[in-house]
Structure 1
Amino acid sequence: MNITRLSTVQADFDVQLQRLLHWSEETDSGIEQVVAGILAEVRTQGDAAVLARTGQFDGVWASSVAELEIPAAELKAAFEGLPAAQRQALQTAAERVRRYHQAQAQACCQGFEFTDEEGNRLGQQVTPLDRVGIYVPGGKAAYPSSVLMNAIPAQVAGVGEIIMVVPTPKGVRNELVLAAAHLAGVHRVFTMGGAQAVGALAFGTATIPRVDKITGPGNAYVAAAKRRVFGQVGIDMIAGPSEILVLADGTVNPDWVAMDLFSQAEHDELAQSVLLCPDAAYIEAVAAAMERLLPEMPRAAVIRASLEGRGGLIHTRSMEEACALSNRIAPEHLEVSAAQPRQWLPHLKHAGAIFLGAFASESLGDYCAGPNHVLPTSGTARFSSPLGVYDFVKRSSLIDISAPGAQVLGPVADVLAQGEGLAAHASSARLRLDSALR
């Protein structure tokens, strides 16, 4: 396997690393043109455009959008009809995801108030969004885990209505996806996908209510549509190819690390898997394990293309340097495969999710560990966070000014407003001076 090998001591390391990490976000002009046309149709024609495009792209023809909605009873029946092992696995995953996000809500989604010296009461009120839309892919594969990760934090946040859209090519509905929607508390499910589904959620139609925010992954057309409707509705993020970075000290079974690198590479040819390690012999052991294990993989061709196109084995001077390099890369998934993983945690600042220790495989995070698997990609972990309860609430500042407080703050606002040339602002503050004495 011709995977890129780099060392931090080589003279052109920075150039070669940048070349390895580069991924163009430039969108295909043809896709953008198609998406713009579809969104314009949905905005002006509503249900009719949704029906026409769903028939064209998914092969699902219906006389009304109401026919595309799956009743709650069918979602429940899908759950109850699952094989026992699948039903139990789905329940376990849902319970763990819910427990994690309930703790998250307690930690970071609370309102507060305090009273200052003048008796002014200041604070923050946190309220859930009224309605959100979640997009679940349904083309090449089915993703019940995406249902759980998007719907459960919205439910924990207290969102009033959760509307799910999922494409069902040729009318084939995935029972596991429907069961997940039942477990996660989704209120309405429509069998539609693509840019027309994003447009319907963003603009609203006679049948599909307009939402406040759209979350969930999709193909290039879905990503382009989300980008175009942002501002009219909120969105979670525009995700790039999936990534894993393994920070290894040479103590973990190399077969485990090789398979973890495969776990991201098998997503698609643009996925990225990178190993950082100060032990050259261990890097060779991982490389040998990859060569030995690859033929056993059902998606071997995809894994090989991903690793040869964007994968990397990087030899560092030390674990400290590896940590610094990891912060520079800011990966979506970061595995710390080390004997004492928490030793390195204070050195790590930028990552979507950090997996600590030999047993914390990234795949557990994808499905059932509890934290959200919707994560920032392409270095955006430098400034953004995983999807969470906080994405489904909004904050309002509370400002309750006392009469004495107006006497203290009024002159300050008066001076600053006059400095900005805003006379009405200044007068508004001055009019309240000594008002309690009049």
Structure 2
Amino acid sequence: MSFSRALSVVNTLVLRGFGSGMSVLFTVLVARYLDTAAAARFFMLFNASVIAALCFRWGLDEVIVRRVASAQAKDLEGLSRYLLGLSHRRVLSWTLAAFALTGAVAVAGFDSPLAGIGFVEVACMLLASSLVALVAAAARISQGRGRTNAATFLLNIIVPLLSLLGLGVLVSSGHALDAAALAIIYLIAAAISYALSVVQRYGSPFSLIHGERTGIQSAEGQADRRASVKLGGVVVAQQALGWAAVIIVPLAYGEATYTGFVVVQKLATLISLAMLAVNFTFSSRFASLHASGNRNELLALVKVSVAGIIGASIVVALAVFGLREQIFAFSKIGENMQGPLVIMLIGQLMFSLASLYAVVLSMCQQEGFLLKAQVMAGLLGIPLFYLLSKVTTLEVACGAFVASYGTLATVLGVKVHRI
């Protein structure tokens, strides 16, 4: 790895770390200033919003990066507007479907796992999810153009930063905090981010949705749409265990444990910073090396990336574990979450390695194999976590993360080395 590329990784790591730090701080402050029930309700909404933002764009992230990175300079502007228009149409369809499903659930009288979640909170978080998904699409265009700093800012910093500022204003003004107020803050942060990243740069959503549908010709367009469907399935399968856990934990262990688990889960994601920086910096490089048939350099870059991820993850894990007592005390986490934290940190390291291999395979157009492997890991991890949560402690149940992600990393790693 050249010095300039290493510097790019470090730069992205710093920016990603800044964004993740704000996200963790936001989570800790919510746990500190809201009572247990209100914090649990907001975390349920927030986690659902994160899931929705990924589902709404359904695999377009990697397709956007691949298409923009391989396009000629003269075609970039038209292609970018086309891809954003495609993103708007897809996100709009998903958002309307989500509202319809929410209405159907409300009419049916289905009880929420956490009682007290109202329509205002749900509506705000669904709208925020759609806006965050579109900001992410704009970020991927910047990533494909090689503007990693701008892409990182849009993808990881601007929404957490604005949300944190909004929370700070409410706390300093003495305003009463509840799930509805935080949902509104999050929606405002997403709306401002969308206005700055999409409307200001590319025009109104109406012009993008109804704009000329060119930029990807018939054969390429069909191939990219098929790839996006598979990659969307990959994204959902990749996150399925984590999403299932935030539903299972409050039902199996109660609200107090759930609040502590969310804090632990957020802390464990700091392990992923090195992986995110590597993937973000080198995804287009992986694609170009595969396209040019330079397999030796591709494998060498993967090996260096694996070593860097493991080394950086160990450093971050030691730092997080060393500060655990202060963080738990500040968050007012009354239960002993040390064991789950250790297990989740190990599981997140396995997830980081699996994610690196997944990005390499997606850039090498191995969506079919990747989807099968991700589904297999989900079929292993989710039932295992559910069964363990029924009969044992949360610490033991978290071992499902290590088993699932460890198996996935092994399978994907073998495939990468065989390419």
For the criterion TM > 0.5, the same-fold answer is no
Q: What TM-score, normalized by structure 1, do the two folds share?
A: 0.24
Q: Whose helix fraction is larger, Structure 1's or Structure 2's?
A: 2
With a CA cutoff of 8 Å and minimum separation of 6, indicate the structure with the bigger relative contact order.
2
Q: Whose strand fraction is larger, Structure 1's or Structure 2's?
A: 1
